[in-house]
Copies of this chain bind each other. A is one copy, B any other.
């Protein structure tokens, strides 16, 4: 790797019921990715639990972890040992009755350098997240790792161009999107349309912002949901560099040539031409007058 290249790893895995089993598997996959040269590895959303948001059950709050806590400690130990930075999305317990859908960011020396709390919280059949998670209160964030600024945005954040833009305005060269998205068995004909829209909107963030985008999705059947995998990495032109399997666990390794960020933005200088004077209404619910 030259100093302009960064090798990233994405761990696409199946989750079991028992968090300890998922942590164990994740540690093992991260180790493999690190030994393949990955400098930053991103796990999937809520990596150490099943996707418990299919229903509303108070006992699921028992799955939450503090940050820092035993899970981030185990990851930090591995990070230090393997000299690999980690993005570890976790169900975060903040205090009694306040929980977040978060991601801990751990540097390759084992230091917990910060966390992001999912800003946009979905709530629809099969994805009852508003029951479990308070909306993030830390804003959009960037983290410096290996002299590269990265940002972490989580799943539903994918659909909001504002989130990607905020990260890019803060200097992020790579946007990581840990995710848990899948098909509902009763909607077969919409299946490809859903996946296509999901990949398209994220490729568009790469294009609009001239950044790399890396999405890690889980895989496998859990209750009524079949998670569609297909973790992928897109370059600043929106071209898909690698797309993982729809069904199998996989460790994605991709090399990001960071010089491409500057190069793409020179050719397509969108940041030069933004009309910052005219975007105020983005901060409003609507411009239309309604009762």
Residues of A in contact (CB 8 Å), total: 52
Chain A window 112-150, contacts with chain B (Cβ cutoff 8 Å), 1 for yes, 0 for no: 000000011110100000000001000110000000000
Say whether B279 contacts A282, CB under 8 Å: yes
Contacts of A208 in B (CB 8 A): 159-161, 201, 204
Within 8 A of B (CB), among A164-217: 165-166, 169-171, 193, 196-197, 200-201, 203-205, 207-208
Say whether B166 contacts A281, CB under 8 Å: yes
Say whether A275 contacts B238, CB under 8 Å: no
Say whether A270 contacts B160, CB under 8 Å: yes
- Name the segment of A43-51, A81-89, A93-101, A283-291 touching the other chain: A283-291
Q: Complex formed: what's the CA distance from A8 to B237 in Å?
A: 31
Chain A window 205-248, contacts with chain B (Cβ cutoff 8 Å), 1 for yes, 0 for no: 10110000000000000000000000000000111000000000
Cβ of A62 within 8 Å of any chain B Cβ, yes or no, is no
Question: Closest Cβ of chain B: how far from A119's Cβ, in Å?
Answer: 5
